[in-house]
Amino acid sequence: MFLRTFGWSFGITLLGLAAAAYLWGASGFGIVLVLSVLEISLSFDNAVINATVLRRMSGFWQRIFLTVGVLVAVFGMRLVFPLVVVGLTAHIAPFTVLELALDSSRTYHGRSYAEHLDAAHPAIAAFGAVFLLMIFLEFLCGEKEIRWIAPLERVMERVGRMDRLPVVLSLGVLLLAAHFFAGDNAQTVLVAGIAGLATYLLATGLAERFESVGMPDEDGSDAEPAAAASSARSAVRVAGKAAFVLFVYLEILDASFSFDGVVGAFAISQNIFQIALGLGIGAVYIRSLTVHLVRQGTLDDYVYLEHGAHYAIGALAVILMASIRYAIPEVVTGLIGVAFIALALLGSELRNRRGAAVGGDVDGDGDGGPGAGPRGGPRENPVASKSIGL
């Protein structure tokens, strides 16, 4: 199973590193290797979040995620997308942007491609931060069967009954960031942040719409209780239009995670092909890890892992907002994400051992676990919420 999932990743790594050595020599080989390791170390939380969505998709769409999705991630998000961002934010023609990217010594209005990309960072950070913040807040405010940081999650579940609270909170954070961090880029940050919010709402709204097709009508004679309807969704893997929307959502999510990595990679290399190759190899491993988590049922065995990944996403959103003004090393972002995942794994393992010691009931109250609550809630997010069985 392990080789079946990761074997092709190993093959791509060997081909990629061999190509780097052939094209750029020992220095290029080292740069691509470092970028690959950097991408993997920064993206463990991304893999966990991806797995919560991917396990809702059919086997066919899981294979699409591993094949077409890799091409989109490597060439689209890590090569073409930065070119588009630079062109849009700096108002540069596409051909000129490509010339800048191919020649690191070339400048346009006194700036190289890397400097133009760095200048676009406020817009990139605002878009990604709001998108990720919405994922975190929707999870935190939705009712959950199992709670990790129970006091905080209980409070947020109660206040989360207020409709659209995550949207209000995200807009409030965006306004504060534009006022305190953006300076002269306040308008750019606001526009980009609202675009990130709109993208999230559109993706989740479409997913909800397509997933609802064929479900019993809650107002009709065949209506189901909310918990039963939620369980029905949990048992069925989506395909067709709904799976396509989730696939697009995963690619946008990948882009949100990779923004800071792409910008930070220019501190290691100015060659966009080295950057794309190194980050691409890392992206391949993250996708393999995502599928491994789904096929092994890791999220079911380690129940706090999804919580830890969402808290890591919340931390990343805050870091992205702060990075609009302050330079924050990528190692800080990576360590925070790894710390949340490690704590979640440790907490899950301790919980499992307690459960085994008391015959499966961790709390001794017959509910199957600490803080277990009813499935479902006032707000069901078809992409990021555990309440519908992601």
Task: Give one DSSP letter per residue of 300-319, joined into a string.
Answer: HHSTTHHHHHHHHHHHHHHH
Quote the pLDDT of residue 390: 33
CB of 55 closer than 8 Å to CB of 239: no
Task: Give one DSSP letter per residue of 123-184, joined into a string.
Answer: HHHHHHHHHHHHHHHHHHHS--SS-SSHHHHHHHHHHTTSTTHHHHHHHHHHHHHHHHT-GG
Quote the pLDDT of residue 346: 92
Calculate the alpha carbon distances from 78 to 63, 90, 209, 298, 323 in Å.
21, 18, 30, 28, 20
Quote the pLDDT of residue 230: 39
Average predicted confidence (pLDDT) for the chain: 78
pLDDT confidence of 19, banded at 50, 70, 90?
A: very high
CA distance linking residue 331 with residue 34, whole number of Å: 13
In terms of Cα–Cα distance, which of 294, 209, 199, 293 is closest to 248?
A: 199
CA distance linking residue 251 with residue 243, whole number of Å: 12
pTM score? 0.76
Range scoring the smallest mean pLDDT among 38-42, 76-80, 257-261, 333-337? 257-261
Percent of the chain with pLDDT over 70: 83
Give the position of tokens 């070119």.
83
* Average pLDDT of the residues in 49-69: 81
Query: What are 184-231's pLDDT values in tens digits?
Result: 889 999 999 999 999 889 888 877 777 665 444 444 444 444 333 333
Residue 110, amino acid? G
Range scoring the smallest mean pLDDT among 69-78, 117-126, 302-311? 69-78
In terms of Cα–Cα distance, which of 68, 18, 47 is closest to 286?
A: 47
- Could you tell me how far CA 341 lies from the centroid of its own chain? 14
Report the 10 Å Cβ neighbour count for 24: 18
DSSP helix/strand/coil, 320? helix
pLDDT confidence of 169, banded at 50, 70, 90?
A: very high
CB of 354 closer than 8 Å to CB of 362: yes
Q: At residue 363, does pLDDT exceed 60?
A: no
